[in-house]
C-alpha cells in the first residue's frame, strides 16, 4: 500500500496539534495569575447525576433530558447561611472564568436543578460537596446530585376515557396537605419535593351517558393502615405511576 507525502504531512500535523492542546491544558493552571496572596482557585466539574438513581423514562417523563449544565450553583463559606456566590447555571459559572478565583478558606458548593417548590412540573435534583481553597492552588471538585422528588404520574385507560367525559378533575394530595390538581390538557405528572406517609387521590368525573357526576377517593398508604388502604404508597426518591380505570385504580413505584 502506497502512502503519499500529503497523507504523512496531514498525520504529523494532527499529532502536533494534539500535543499542543495537551500541553496547553497541562500548563493552564500554572499560568493562572491570582489577584492576591490569599487567593486560590476552584475548578468545578459539570454536576453529575447519582449513578445509583434509576433513569425514569415514560410517556410523560424522561430524566435523560435533564441537562446538568443548567443546574444552579451556590458557593457558601463554611458556617454561613447565605451564599457567597450564586450562578443561575453551571454554564454561567464557567463563563465567569475557569478556574474561579476565591479567597482562601473552607466552602460548601451546592448544585441543584432549580429553586424547589412544594409541587413542581419537573424533577428536583440536588447535591453538595465540601472543599478547601488553598493559597495559589487550584482545587478540583465535583458535585453528585440525587433525585430528591416524589414523582406522580396519572395514566387514564382507554376504558376511562371512553366512559367518562373530558370534564374531569383529579386531585393528588399528600397527608401534609400539599396537593395538585390535574385536568384535561394539564401535565399528567407532578413532583412533590416533600416526603409523606400517604397519597390521597380524588377523582371527580361525569359519565358520557348523562348520569350524575361521581367523586371517588383512594389512598395509597405505605404503612398499610388507615385511612382506607388501596395500595402501598411511594417514598420520596421514587416515581409513582397511578393507572385509573372505570372500576379500579392501581399504583406502582419505579
CATH architecture of the domain with range 150-253: Sandwich (2.60)
Distance CA 77, CA 50 (A): 25
Residue range 127-162, pLDDT digits in tens: 999 999 999 999 999 999 999 999 999 999 999 999
Decide: helix, strand or coil at residue 21. Answer: helix
For the chain, what are the domain ranges?
35-147, 150-253
Give which of 26, 211, 44 is closest to 139, Cα–Cα: 44
pLDDT of residue 224: 67
pLDDT of residue 250: 86
**Which fold is adopted by the domain 35-147?**
Immunoglobulin-like (2.60.40)
Distance CA 39, CA 72 (A): 24
What does the mean pLDDT of the chain come to?
83
Q: In what order do the strands lie in the sheet with 198-205?
A: 179-183, 169-174, 198-205, 214-221
CA distances from 9 to 6, 12, 13, 15, 166 (A): 5, 5, 6, 10, 69
pLDDT of residue 199: 93
Do the first three CATH levels of 35-147 and 150-253 match, i.e. the same topology?
yes
| Beta carbons within 8 Å of 245's beta carbon, 6+ residues apart | 157, 159, 160
Residue range 33-70, pLDDT digits in tens: 888 899 999 999 999 988 666 555 555 566 777 899 99
pLDDT of residue 5: 41
Give which of 125, 177, 176, 182 is closest to 153, Cα–Cα: 182
Q: Does the reported pTM lie above 0.75?
A: yes
What Rg value do the Cα atoms of the chain yield, rounded?
26
> Residues 39, 102: contact at Cβ < 8 Å?
yes
Residue range 111-127, pLDDT digits in tens: 999 999 999 988 999 99
Which tops the pLDDT comparison, 14 or 208?
A: 208
Residue 243 predicted with pLDDT over 70? yes
CB atoms within 10 A of CB 163: 15
> What does the longest C-alpha to C-alpha distance in the chain come to?
86
Amino acid at each position: 500500500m502506497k502512502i503519499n507525502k500529503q497523507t504523512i504531512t496531514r498525520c504529523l500535523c494532527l499529532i502536533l496539534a494534539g500535543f499542543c492542546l495537551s500541553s496547553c491544558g497541562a500548563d493552564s493552571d500554572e499560568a493562572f495569575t491570582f489577584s492576591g496572596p490569599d487567593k486560590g482557585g476552584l475548578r468545578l466539574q459539570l454536576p453529575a447525576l447519582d449513578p445509583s438513581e434509576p433513569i425514569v423514562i415514560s410517556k410523560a417523563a424522561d430524566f435523560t433530558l435533564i441537562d446538568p449544565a443548567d443546574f444552579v450553583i451556590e458557593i457558601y463559606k463554611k458556617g454561613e447561611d447565605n451564599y457567597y456566590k450564586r450562578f443561575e447555571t453551571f454554564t454561567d459559572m464557567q463563563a465567569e472564568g475557569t478556574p474561579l478565583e476565591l479567597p482562601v478558606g473552607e466552602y460548601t458548593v451546592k448544585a441543584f436543578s432549580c429553586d424547589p417548590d412544594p409541587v413542581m412540573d419537573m424533577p428536583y435534583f440536588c447535591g453538595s460537596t465540601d472543599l478547601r481553597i488553598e493559597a495559589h492552588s487550584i482545587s478540583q471538585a465535583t458535585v453528585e446530585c440525587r433525585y430528591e422528588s416524589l414523582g406522580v404520574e396519572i395514566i387514564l385507560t382507554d376504558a376511562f376515557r371512553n366512559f367518562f367525559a373530558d370534564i374531569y378533575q383529579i386531585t393528588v394530595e399528600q397527608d401534609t396537605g400539599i396537593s395538585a390538581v390535574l385536568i384535561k390538557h394539564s401535565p399528567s405528572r407532578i413532583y412533590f419535593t416533600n416526603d409523606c406517609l400517604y397519597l390521597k387521590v380524588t377523582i371527580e368525573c361525569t359519565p358520557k351517558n348523562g348520569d350524575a357526576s361521581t367523586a371517588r377517593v383512594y389512598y395509597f398508604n405505605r404503612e398499610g393502615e388507615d385511612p382506607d388502604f388501596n395500595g402501598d404508597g411511594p417514598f420520596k426518591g421514587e416515581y409513582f405511576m397511578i393507572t385509573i380505570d372505570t372500576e379500579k385504580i392501581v399504583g406502582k413505584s419505579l
